[in-house]
Amino acid sequence: MSALLELQDVHACFGGAQRSYRHASREIGLPMKFGVFLPPQAVQGRRVPAVLFLAGLTCNEETFLIKAGAQRMAAELGLALIAPDTSPRGANLPDEAADWEFGVGAGFYLDATQEPWARYWRMESYLLQELLPLVGVSLPIDTTRLGLCGHSMGGHGALTLALRHPGKFKSLSAFAPISHPTQCAWGQKAFKGYLGDDEVRWAQHDATLLMQRQAQAPYPGGILIDQGMADKFLFDKQLLPEAFEAACQHIGQPLTLRRQPGYDHGYYFIQSFIDDHLRHHAAQLAAA
């Protein structure tokens, strides 16, 4: 194990190991935490593919790993699960935790350009330039076979990071993602606060606009999205999955958008369909 990683906790789980780590982040400038589930194959020393899961507003590095019930299927499929925190913590910026939609727990998986956020809120660089290389050298994870998944704000992060970093991720899925953030209140609030008034810069972090600009389908094996039809944020026009669906159709990107009757925005919804998402990733990562 790398000396850069401080093991915080470890539990046996479905023949594998559920671990939590802390490390000093050069990109963030503060300590960061993340959780990892290693399937039995990894515990035995084999390098395994992994799914990076990005959680939503108010969540942290534990939320998905505790609430989603993903470890059983991940163990069967031989997939590692990587769950980072959703924002920096401990920067002590004015009002950083005053609003659940912005600041702590609401990093939106981008690099802020506006003060005072620009110094610490560098989640895109943290994930791509620091965390994934770190787990690749410190843990039995094959970072050439990575899938990306997320929920809500994390679904936004999954879709945008997958499109902004072509070839980095071999599979992609999301639960109730914020699909067109330049056109919803959550996205506009975050983008204005982190990126300022330049809407050209906003567009660089909007999954629908990024997909519209693709010359060809970036994920020919298909993208999987589940959306609960009793999700209040769907009716509040925060998610706009139909916009991303239209963008995929426009450029010929295969998309399975499953509209699930009766399901809301929470983790009971994710529990119900997480196995399908892990199978989706395992199949594409095996092909990769």
Catalytic site residue from 20, 152, 171, 179: 152
Order of all β-strands in the sheet with 80-84: 6-13, 16-24, 31-38, 80-84, 48-54, 141-151, 171-175, 223-228, 255-260
Can 179 be counted among the known catalytic residues? no
Can 231 be counted among the known catalytic residues? yes
Report how far residue 288's alpha carbon sits from residue 271's, in angstroms, rounded to the nearest whole number. 26
Sign of torsion over alpha carbons 223, 168, 110, 62: positive
List the one residue out of 49, 44, 137, 121 whose CA is nearest residue 87.
121
Residues 275, 256, 246, 148: what is their CA dihedral angle, to the nearest 10 degrees?
40
Report how far residue 60's alpha carbon sits from residue 33's, in angstroms, rounded to the nearest whole number. 9
Report how far residue 155's alpha carbon sits from residue 225's, in angstroms, rounded to the nearest whole number. 9
Catalytic site residue from 151, 231, 277, 280: 231
Catalytic site residue from 265, 277, 280, 281: 265
3-state secondary structure of 172: strand
Can 152 be counted among the known catalytic residues? yes
Residue numbers annotated as active site: 152, 231, 265
